Amino acid sequence: MALKRLDITAVRNLKQVSVRNLGVTNVFFGENGGGKTSILESVYLLGMARSFRSSQIKPVIQHGMQGCSVFGELAGKNGRHAAVGITRDRTGSVKIKVNGDAITTVSALAEQQPMQILHAQSFELLTGGPIERRRFLDWGVFHVEHRYQKAWSLFQRCIKQRNSLLRHGKISAGELEPWSQQLVQSGEKIDEWRQAYFAELIAVFSGLLKRLAPELPLMELRYRRGWDKKLTLQAALESSLASDIEQGYTHIGPQRADIRVVCDGHDAGSMLSRGQQKLVVCALKLAQGQILSSQKGTSCIYLVDDLPSELDAEHCRLVCEVLSGLNAQVFITCVDPAELLASWPGLDVGGSMFHVEQGQVTRQEQEYKINS
């Protein structure tokens, strides 16, 4: 689906913004501090119920306001249509409505419209901890395997219970057994689906990285499932039982999975330059969009914040070329559109251009010419 209309209330400096007739490629440009990233943040809120800039909602809500809201109209093939609204307030509460019905889980919201973000901190996918990488992997599996969410929720419930029992001191293997059994069943499934997805990811990622950065040495993607690969999850849990009991939590399992990007035998996060890291992350995230579209026939919305930063003109052009060929709706920000216009095929005639200044968004109706 694609976002056709967007209404934003009290997100950072965007007091009240309404944008109609959004196109396939939407460029938000303007001086620093105008509100460009806040537009992307609002779209992301609509898809994920949270910000990509802050783990808390308070900094996102306009100063002096109790809450913020975003409303969007999505339209897809064969007349499919969805009206999505999200309201967040300072207490952290989340209210989501899809076509007038209140929904209670963020996964049901995320299912409506998959979204991917490429922004200044995206390199943290390589340099940061495993949580982000698991989230990245799970995003992909969740959108292509409809049974994944159920298995994941069950697994979460089991591990919480098991850990709570472990925390309460002396415990026998028999008392843990009911939780361990369900944990094993759901955990093995999660791993199986992750592995299947990962195999696809390796192939698509390699092809994309070759296009985006042909000069980079071969990059290897490795998946770690979270326990000894020679053991079943059941056997691994049994062998770690003594230390689980001693330390009061479950040490192994899919909750410890990770992926690594390895370049010439070294960790890509510590070896590559910032620009190279950005290209690798772009290839990873573009690969996810490509897999989604080939496996499910749906495209995700790409939010791209300040693409030219860290990238030289040629790499920027290559990313634009791949992005424009994905057949996905894109929201992209920049300070000066001239660079993007030169890099993005057909943007001067087919792109929707919006000027953002002091929290106000104005559509630019005139046709943009390269180097205008």
Residue 189 has which token pair?
A: 């499934």
From 25, 26, 51, 62, residue interacting with ligand ATP (rule: CB under 6 A): 62
Pick 35 or 187: Cβ nearer ligand ATP:
35
Asked if residue 100 belongs to a known ligand binding site, the reply is: no
CA 269 to chain centre: 19
From 6, 9, 12, 191, residue interacting with ligand ATP (rule: CB under 6 A): 12
Query: 8 to 67, contacts with Mg ion by CB under 5 A?
Result: 36-37
* 139-149: burial string, b at 16+ Cβ within 10 Å, e else: bbbbbbbeebb
| Beta carbon of residue 162, minimum distance to ligand ATP (angstroms, whole number) | 40
Separation between Cα atoms, residue 198 and residue 231, nearest integer Å:
20
Contact map string, positions 282 to 321, toward ligand ATP, x by CB under 6 A: ----------------------------------------
From 13, 121, 206, 298, residue interacting with ligand ATP (rule: CB under 6 A): 13
DSSP reduced 3-state for 299: coil
Phi/psi at 65 (5° precision):
-105, 150
Size of the site for ligand ATP (CB under 6 A): 15
- Does 277 participate in binding Mg ion (rule CB under 5 A)? no
Asked if residue 36 belongs to a known ligand binding site, the reply is: yes
Asked if residue 33 belongs to a known ligand binding site, the reply is: yes
The 10 Å Cβ neighbour count of residue 38 is 23
- Does 88 participate in binding ligand ATP (rule CB under 6 A)? no
| Beta carbon of residue 38, minimum distance to ligand ATP (angstroms, whole number) | 3
The two beta strands, 25-29 and 352-357, are parallel
Partner that binds at residue 230, options Mg ion, ligand ATP, none, CB closer than 5 to 8 Å by kind: none
- Does 337 participate in binding ligand ATP (rule CB under 6 A)? no
Asked if residue 4 belongs to a known ligand binding site, the reply is: no
Asked if residue 297 belongs to a known ligand binding site, the reply is: no
Amino acid sitting at position 100: G
Q: Which residues pair with 59 in a beta bridge?
A: none
Amino acid sitting at position 62: Q
Asked if residue 32 belongs to a known ligand binding site, the reply is: yes
Asked if residue 37 belongs to a known ligand binding site, the reply is: yes
What is the residue-wise DSSP string for 221-276? Answer: EEEE-SS-TTS-HHHHHHHTHHHHHHHTS--SSGGG-EEEEEETTEEHHHHS-HHH
Instruction: Fill in the DSSP letter of residue 24.
Output: S
| Beta carbon of residue 9, minimum distance to ligand ATP (angstroms, whole number) | 12
Pick 36 or 278: Cβ nearer Mg ion:
36
Pick 111 or 124: Cβ nearer Mg ion:
124
Partner that binds at residue 33, options ligand ATP, Mg ion, none, CB closer than 5 to 8 Å by kind: ligand ATP
Separation between Cα atoms, residue 188 and residue 59, nearest integer Å:
39
Phi/psi at 354 (5° precision):
-130, 130
Phi/psi at 79 (5° precision):
70, 10
Binding site as annotated, residues: 30-37
The footprint of Mg ion (CB under 5 A) covers 36-37
Binding site as annotated, residues for ATP: 30-37
The footprint of ligand ATP (CB under 6 A) covers 12-13, 32-38, 59, 61-63, 335, 356
